[in-house]
Structure 1
Amino acid sequence: ESKSLKLYLNSFANTRFASREAVIKTIASDLAQVAGAPVDVRVMSMEEAARAAVWDDHGDSVDHLDVAFEHFEYRPELLFTEQGPERNGALVSHLLRSHCPVTNQPDWGTVQVRYTGAEISPASFLRYVVSLRNHQGFHEQIIEQMFVDLKRQCAPRHLSVYGRFTRRGGLDINPFRSDYEDLPRNLRTIRQ
């Protein structure tokens, strides 16, 4: 049943595995025990999965930065800019997670930030995204809060924040907040 599988997979939130093989072995073993038969599990990296994606994130992914995380509670003060000239930048993370304020279940998403201004530190952006892991808010509230926080902490001249959340009840919820560009085309990400 898809809901129980979703809850099972969400139980691994904030869990670290030694390798992709360890993830596959754990999930295959657990599901085979429930199904009473062998189960084939495949885990793809975002790069492997992206080959089939229809939405192109058009930005620099921060997900592979070698960053230590200390905060899993909402911390907008983690955001800062780098020294240097104004630029047109785009940052993307597939690691956005927050909690539904009604059910307290995790909501997963991809966030794209496009801006004109001082360079937003990629490491600070990644730490900020991860700091939302235990934050409660509806999808629209999370993207609006990110927009406000980025404006306040980094002061870009132009800013767009686009959230692409995993589906709920068969519905896509993809909030977009911008002070300079129109809503982009509504194409699904690999996770949707």
Structure 2
Amino acid sequence: MNTPEQSPLGHSSAYADQYDPSLLFPLPRAAKREEIGIHGQLPFFGADLWTGYELSWLNVRGKPQVALVHFTIPCETPNIVESKSFKLYLNSFNNSRFASADEVLAKLRADVSAAVWRGAPHAATVGVRLVLSEAFAQQKVQELQGLELDRLDVECSDYQPRPELLRADADSPPVSETLVSHLLKSNCLVTGQPDWGSVQIAYTGPAIDQEGLLRYIVSFRNHNEFHEQCVERIFTDIWRQCQPHKLSVYARYTRRGGLDISPLRTSHPQAMPTPQRTARQ
């Protein structure tokens, strides 16, 4: 079983410039889920939405091609892909020749699917979409929609996750609201480098105390965990502490090494968000 310490993270790595799918380094999700009390059937739906901004390859005449690539990786996959290995893998396309963008797309889908579904009794595929250069002008910047928690003037002193900061008024009538904060920060599990993000929390149920929720989000500031794991921790803590009827947690983290990750976890099936980056991405 792969561990984060065995990954390319924190180690000097030579860039391969010839296509090499073996560079992808899958990491099991199970251990971190067990830390937050998730065993067996998942209590949520969702996916990890990756955007690659530095994808390039050569056509059959040796002319470079460039594109953006969007991946949709279901949360049911037994593995995530360690992000530095993902970067090294995408860069391995740089000096390799492909007959068409469709061939590149097929390679990306097959390779990433094999990595994230490795060890599963019934493997499936991930979603992959290329945005070619002629469509770059259609790419938009859009902030997460919702009432901004950052407007609140709260005192913060906790910088490790404190689920006890979360509370809801069980005696109040149920509400439906969407809350947003740009103050989410955590650190890479291996290197300790900062990961910056914005988070959108939509729920129906007893009214959640907004000051406590903001202080809870801030409490991740010195916490070491991968993006996907932080979002699952946030979802699980709110679900247990506030007991909403419905809940979704969606975070858009800023890019590193030409990649950004935007995990979504939700208590109910719903359409995936449109992959539109925020200003900080």
Q: Common fold, TM-score beyond 0.5?
A: yes
Structure 2 residue 277 is matched with structure 1 residue 188: yes
Match of 1:58 in 2: 145
Unpaired stretches in structure 2, ≥5 consecutive residues: 1-139
What is aligned with 2:212? Answer: 124
Q: Give the counterpart letter for 2:275 in structure 1.
A: N
Find the aligned partners of 1:56 and 1:87 in 2 and give their Cα distance. 23
Matches within 5 A, 1:56-95: 56-82=143-169, 83-95=171-183
Secondary structure at 1:88 match in 2: strand
User: 1:173 and 2:261 equivalent?
Assistant: yes
- Cα distance in 2, alignment partners of residues 67 and 135 from structure 1: 20
Deviation at 1:144, TM superposition (A): 0.5
Deviations 1:113-154 (A, max 9, x none): 001101111101100011110111000000010000010011
| Cα contact 2:205–2:245 (8 A) shared by 1 | yes
Which of the pair is proportionally richer in helix? 1
Partner of residue 106, structure 1:
194
The amino acid across from 1:126 in the alignment is: L
Distance 1:190 1:174 in 2: 14
In structure 1, the residue matched to 2:203 is 115
Q: Which aligned pairs between 1:27-38 and structure 2 lie closer than 5 A?
A: none
Aligned to 1:96: 184
Matched to 1:68, the amino acid is E
Alpha-carbon RMSD across the aligned residues, in angstroms, is: 1.2
Q: Which runs of 5+ in 1 are unaligned?
A: 1-52
Give aligned-pair identity as a percent: 51
Q: Which residue of 2 aligns with 1:137?
A: 225
- Which of the pair has more CA radius of gyration? 2
Q: Determine helix, strand or coil for the equivalent of 1:104.
A: coil
Q: How many residues align?
A: 140
Q: Runs of at least 4 residues of structure 1 off by over 3 A?
A: none
Tell me the CA shift for residue 182 of structure 1: 2.3
TM-score by length of 1: 0.70
Task: Decide which structure has greater strand share.
Answer: 2
